[in-house]
Structure 1
Amino acid sequence: MAASTALSRNAWVCAVLLLLFLVTSVSALIEGLYCGTQSCYDVLGVSRDAGKGEIGRAYRQLARRFHPDKYQPGVAEESRESAHEKFLLIATAYETLKDEESRKDYDYMLDHPEEYYSHYYTYYRRRLAPKVDVRIVILVTVLAISLFQYYSWWSSYREAISYLMTVPKYRIQATELAKQQGLLNRNKEKGKNRRSKEEIREEEEQIIRDIIKNKIDIKGGYQKPNVSDILICKIILFPYHLCVYVAWHCSWFYRFFLRREEYGEPEKLYLIRRYMKMSQAQFDSLESNQIEEFLHKELWIKDKCEVYREEQEEEMKLKMATDPRWKRYRRWMKTEGPGRLTFADD
């Protein structure tokens, strides 16, 4: 009994001594954080109540004295290497105290030395955090991408219109429409209002260009750009499109799975596009007669669509096997290949 009492007494004594050791070993100044085991206030020679102006003056005085480019060692002063280390410590103290948030964290560390790990987290979070707001960077990046996207689309559209202006088929049709509308009727101009041939030709070219813009149906990558298609508009309208998407699928499930309604033409075209694995832009670029063929063959039925796709693949393979151009291409790939630079006769 006495032995157990003595053992418990010794355990309590060890616990108290360990607690006293831990309490006395906790220091407000931590090696590796801020100014290390020295106080940033003592490094600059100011008190904790000092203002920004006093801290700035103390830093400039010490910097003029210990800066590596201006330091002049005396007889009893530090060497150039120790002065350089002193200057780095002074700069660290100034960077810590000149910022209100950083100074607030440093004063909290001095007043609460027991929160050891919290001080480490606060210090490295502030040092490693980006100096610029990430949200601003993302917004500027999205705006830049959107502007570049819109500009590139307009460039492609203008290139397509310029190319169509050189195609005789479209140019003749546009000229005929302009004549029917009375836009190319050349009246004799007299006096001061008389224009040169170059001005008349430029006006006619602009009329033909405008008719081609209004009448031609350009699809795909060269179609006329739409503001709602750029990235920033898609991001802004994403909640709306998400709600429309969910509502559309709920309506589809209710109409065609629960009520067993018959498919209309829009629904049939949607199923055909999905079974053909085509995007909306690819499907819109198809000719009207091809879409009518899809509807005539009832390709909204999955089995018929798969049979049609297999037939198309077999037809393409047969065409590639019998077409002389494909034969020349396969022979060229077998004998020479794309890695060889030669002059071709055709």
Structure 2
Amino acid sequence: LQDEETRKDYDYMLDHPEEYYRHYYHYYSRRLAPKVDVRIVILVTVCAISVFQFFSWWSSYNEAINYLATVPKYRIQATEIARQQGLLNKTKEKGKNRRSKEEIREVEEEIIKDIIKNKIDIKGGYQKPKIYDILLFQILLAPFYLCKYIAWYCWWIYCFTIKGQEYGVEEKLYIIRRYMKMSQSQFDSLEDHQKETFLERQLWIRENYEVYKREQEEELKKKMAMDPRWKRYRRWMKNEGPGRLTFIDD
């Protein structure tokens, strides 16, 4: 009875012994109540998720670098840059510092990967992870992002709705991205010539985008019609169809 709330419940029980179920509920609700602060649990959970996110992204990024190092196009370019900078010559030192062929191969591989990291801008899901993208920082910076979005939205309304200014290149690409329902990272991963095509066709205008969308859908249908796998699937559906599950009484 050291707790004040517990003493109040005890005094109430002495005054009202007939309310058995109420006393029973309050007693066990206090006994079984979690002793750890919920805020600490939430903080630890968010931190754990953030750490997992960061290392998972680094793993994906390293996988992308390892893959690009096997692509002849990028490997040849990286090897040529390393040769021009004299980095490969350092791996073949003679004398006491002489390395084995296996060690030379490993060092050259690391040099090629480092050049690919510095020269190639990987975008999308395999891009280099940033500390500010993890969940913990996203939560901490949420008020800042909200204020920034409100300020940007007010600027957009003032410039393009009230004053009627013409869209710039960035604004046009933003509208196109919204029409395509793509995230910023997905849109950034597109080739530059694709974005130029979007601008040439004026896809920031809704009518032009709808025409472009229908064209893409028709093109996709044609590709699927010519794809041997889809042909086999349609033939199978026509001849056999999906299996049917029936229940028949004996």
Q: Given the two structures, how large is their TM-score scaled by the length of structure 2? A: 0.84
Partner of 1:328: 232
- Count, aligned residues: 240
- Contact kept in structure 1, 2:91 and 2:104, CA below 8 Å: no
> Match of 1:166, SS?
coil
* Residue segments in structure 1 that go unaligned for 5+ positions in a row: 1-96, 340-346
C-alpha distance in 1 between matches for 2:44 and 2:234: 49
Relative distance call for 1:213 and 1:338 in structure 2 (3 A) is: farther
Greater shift after overlay, 308-317 or 187-196?
Answer: 187-196
Partner of 1:18: none
C-alpha distance in 1 between matches for 2:96 and 2:104: 15
Partner of 1:87: none
Partner of 1:194: 98
C-alpha distance in 2 between matches for 1:187 and 1:233: 41
Partner of 1:105: 8
Relative distance call for 1:337 and 1:194 in structure 2 (3 A) is: farther
Q: Deviations over 1:55-94 (max 9, x none)?
A: xxxxxxxxxxxxxxxxxxxxxxxxxxxxxxxxxxxxxxxx
Structure (1 or 2) with the larger CA radius of gyration: 1
Q: 2:218 aligns with which of 302, 314, 324?
A: 314
Partner of 1:256: 160
RCO greater where, 1 or 2, for CA within 8 Å and sep 6 or more?
A: 2
How far has the Cα of 1:203 moved from its partner? 1.7
Q: Matches of residues 198-209 of structure 1 in structure 2 within 5 Å? A: 198-209=102-113
C-alpha distance in 1 between matches for 2:58 and 2:179: 32
Partner of 2:149: 245
Q: Deviations over 1:263-300 (max 9, x none)?
A: 11111011111112222122111110000000000001
Q: Matches of residues 138-157 of structure 1 in structure 2 within 5 Å? A: 138-157=42-61
Q: Given the two structures, how large is their TM-score scaled by the length of structure 1? A: 0.62
Q: Deviations over 1:142-184 (max 9, x none)?
A: 1111111111111111111112222222111110011111111
Relative distance call for 1:140 and 1:109 in structure 2 (3 A) is: same
- Contact kept in structure 2, 1:105 and 1:122, CA below 8 Å: no
Identity among equivalent positions (%) equals 68
C-alpha distance in 2 between matches for 1:187 and 1:160: 25
Partner of 2:130: 226
- Contact kept in structure 1, 2:91 and 2:108, CA below 8 Å: no
C-alpha distance in 1 between matches for 2:140 and 2:130: 15
C-alpha distance in 1 between matches for 2:13 and 2:227: 85
Relative distance call for 1:233 and 1:337 in structure 2 (3 A) is: farther
C-alpha distance in 1 between matches for 2:56 and 2:68: 18
How far has the Cα of 1:337 moved from its partner? 7.7
Pairwise CA RMSD: 2.8
C-alpha distance in 1 between matches for 2:61 and 2:152: 32
C-alpha distance in 2 between matches for 1:210 and 1:247: 40
- Contact kept in structure 1, 2:65 and 2:113, CA below 8 Å: yes
> Match of 1:137, SS?
helix
Aligned partner letter, 1:148: F
How far has the Cα of 1:201 moved from its partner? 2.3
